[in-house]
Amino acid sequence: MLAQDIFSSVKDISDLVYNTLCNYEQLEPGIFPMTQRMLVRDGQPCGIHFCLHGPRNVKYTSIWETDRNSILFYNSIGERFHRTELKEAPKLTTASQLAPT
- Residue 98 inside a domain? The answer is no
Residue 48: inside a domain: yes
At 34 the pLDDT is 97
- Which residues touch 68 (CB under 8 Å, ≥6 apart)? 85
Domain of 13, in residue numbers:
2-91
- CA dist., res. 21 & res. 64, Å (int): 13
Question: Would 97 be classed as within a structural domain?
Answer: no
Residue 101 maps to a domain:
no
Domain assignment of residue 100, yes or no? no
Q: Is residue 99 part of a domain?
A: no
Q: Whose CA is closest to 65, among 53, 80, 76?
A: 80
Tens-level pLDDT at each residue, the chain (101 residues):
555 667 888 999 999 999 999 999 999 999 999 999 999 999 889 999 999 999 999 999 999 999 999 999 999 999 999 999 998 888 887 656 665 55
Residues 6+ apart with CB under 8 A from 40: 46
For residue 96, the model assigns a pLDDT of 61
Query: Domain tally for the chain?
Result: 1
Contacts of 54 (CB under 8 A, 6+ apart): 25, 27, 32, 60, 76
**Burial label, 50 (beta-carbon count in 10 A; 0-12, 13-18, 19+):** buried
- At 89 the pLDDT is 84
